Amino acid sequence: MLVWALVAGVVIVLVATLLLAPARTTIIIDTPASAARAEMRLLWGVGPKLMANALPTSQVGNPLALFHDTVRIGHALMTPGIADASYVALKRLFQLGPRVARLELGLNLGDSAQNLVVQTAAQAALAAAPAAMRDRLIVTKCAAPGAELTANFELTASPIQLAQIYGQLKDSGPVREFRRRLKRRAKPTKRPPREVRTS
């Protein structure tokens, strides 16, 4: 019994060390290729490799279809508070001191008013950010209809830290509403777009 207790204790300490110790991490988001993953080399980069995917790997290489449904993605990007919730998560990533940091949101919603509202919301959320952060977050126009999100971050952080940032973003009210709108087929409307709230 004592031996099993010791073994269990060693396993718990080992797992805790792997999860709490900093890991060399690369975060890649590429909706044109249906990729959203974190690649972590544990124990300061000398340990085993861990991969976490936010999207099914079976879709990798093909455009994320929902992001090219202009009605759905346009409706989802109009979610009140989505820009602010995203900014909070990005700010926490930047506080970890990434060696590489770049995020680009491309818009081509087929509605100039929607494009303008989403761009304005993103820029308003970034208004108080340090210049170094604003320079790495770009809102532009994409060639394909819909929206495209690409990002690349390289940093050193523990898996627990990254899980907390992702978990709080995913569980936030605006992100839950964004995902709900994205899954629901929206009907085209001629009414003016609802303004995105920013703090």
Q: pTM for the full model?
A: 0.82
Q: What is the pLDDT along the chain (199 residues), one digit of tens a residue?
A: 655 555 555 556 555 566 678 999 999 999 999 999 999 999 888 888 988 888 888 778 888 888 999 999 999 999 999 999 999 999 999 999 999 999 999 999 988 888 999 999 988 888 888 888 889 999 999 999 999 999 999 999 999 999 999 999 999 999 999 999 988 875 655 554 454 454 4
CA dihedral 171, 174, 177, 179 (to 10 degrees): -70
pLDDT value at position 11?
A: 54
pLDDT (0 to 100) of residue 199: 47
Cα dihedral 92, 59, 26, 167 in deg (nearest 10):
30
How far is C-alpha 49 from the geometric centre of its chain's CA atoms?
21
- Residue 58 is predicted with a pLDDT of 78
* Pair 113, 74: CB distance under 8 Å: no
CA distance 80 to 121: 9
Q: Tell me which DSSP letter residue 195 carries.
A: P
Spell out the domain ranges in the chain: 2-183
What's the confidence (pLDDT) of residue 36? 92
77: burial class by Cβ within 10 Å (0-12, 13-18, 19+)? buried
| pLDDT score, position 165 | 95
Provide the 3-class DSSP secondary structure of residue 138. Answer: strand
What is the structure's pLDDT at 47?
A: 86
Cα distances (Å, whole numbers) of residue 3 to 6, 15, 16, 57: 5, 18, 20, 41
pLDDT at residue 39 in the model: 95
